Structure 1
Amino acid sequence: MAWSTPPPSPIAAAAQKSLAWRGACASITVTIDALTCTTAAGASSFNANAWSWGANNTAASGSGAGGGGRVVFTDLSVTKALDACSPALFRAVSTGLRFRTLTLSQQDASGNVLARVV
Structure 2
Amino acid sequence: MKKLYKLKFGEVHIHDFYVMAIIAEGVIIDKKNSDTIIELAVKHFPNDSFGYITHRIHSYSVDPTVYKDVAEIKNLVGFAIVTGNSKGLKNSDFEQFFIKKPSKAFKELDEAIRWVKELIEN
TM-score, length basis structure 2? 0.21
Bigger helix fraction: 2
